[in-house]
Amino acid sequence: MTGRAASIALLICVASSPFFAGTAAHTNDRFTSDERSMIRAHGPWPLNPPPDPSNRFSGNQTAIAFGKDLFSDPRLSRDGNLSCVSCHVPELGFTDGLERSTGIGEVDRNAPAIANLANFRWFGWDGRSDTLWGQSIHPILNDLEMAATATDIAAQMTSQEDLAARYEQATQTKPADETPEAILVNTGKILAAYQETLRTPRTRFDDYRDALVTGDTAGQVAYPDAAKRGLKIFTGKGKCSICHFGPLFTNGEFHSIGIKHFAEAGRVDTGRYGGLKAFRASELNRLGPHSDEDQARAAKAPSTYAAFLHSNWGAYRVPSLRNVAATAPYMHDGSLATLEDVVDHYSDMNMDRLHSDGETLLRPLDLSKQERADLVAFLHTLTAAPVASAAED
């Protein structure tokens, strides 16, 4: 064999070897420049949000410790059998694994995951609160959830020695000297101070995203090929990143995605429309009398400009996809049991279920069987259990 022929044979051998093929497949060449920009925008992680200006206990370690214990304390419920952790189980990604959560009675919606909430501007499936502490109070008062009253909470905080002592330690005020309403609001703020610390840890996707940014070839090689293909669908053909945007994998807004919005036969769950109505009627918001935020600053918040629209009917908050594999079932009513079901929904979407004046971006993705599997593979790389508390780092 001549020297030239030997060189050609060597090149063919190397190029066809599993190592060479694998290395080439793991470069970022498979993504367009727009897709790479989208991938970069999904990080870095974790985020370090500032304290909530509307909650004077935000970042307060004494309040955080008290809030953590209150989160699992059944004395905040009417019957003494339920607590926040009844529907937000740490081992289930702070959800409950049910289609629709059950407290005193069954509610209309699936328990949303509560990690990374410090970065959100709306809370709950319908966004009825623009404060985490306001949202924390809703299930305490809801007749189908914990079904307590402000008077009930005040009675517990004043009559139970351990609660009274810790309340005074956290608030610098004796509960006996405060009104039931003030005690209820402070309880919500203390619960929120703890929930703000719940963060999902870094994932395989975060490592890959950072490897792309830094040009770390070894980091790129470590990410599964199926997940890469799914990520390309997510940022490209699927246009998933338009709504599931940024480090949180959500734009924080509300959309109708073709999921039925009847809570039961003959009764509609109005979604965002009802949430806005409740938000405007409530004082548990950034502009309300219980907020600790400077009102000039609060008046400039996006929530003050929220308007009723016909498309608000049947629209629900876009959930974060971080930790998504741990939080089944999915959608506001828990109607989709698996991530495979979710991908099938978007691939085979029934356009007749969308508002005619609503979602102009949504179209059936018509994904192949392989593409569906790849997209699910990518979604699994957004999960790394368990959820951690930043206060414990």
Binding site for heme c: which residues?
84, 87-88, 240, 243-244
Contacts of 99 (CB under 8 A, 6+ apart): 110, 329, 333, 334, 335
| Annotated binding-site residue numbers | 84, 87-88, 240, 243-244
Burial of residue 50, with CB atoms counted within 10 A of its CB: 0-12 exposed, 13-18 middle, 19 or more buried? exposed
- Nearest C-alpha neighbor of 200 from the set 135, 283, 117: 117
Q: Cα separation of 124 and 55, whole Å? A: 18
Cα distance between residue 379 and residue 323, in whole Å: 9
CA distances from 132 to 115, 253, 287 (A): 12, 16, 14
DSSP type of residue 123: B
- In angstroms, the CA 118 to CA 135 distance is 12
- If you count them, how many residues does the chain have? 393
Query: From the CB of residue 385, how many other CB atoms can be counted at a distance below 10 Å?
Result: 14
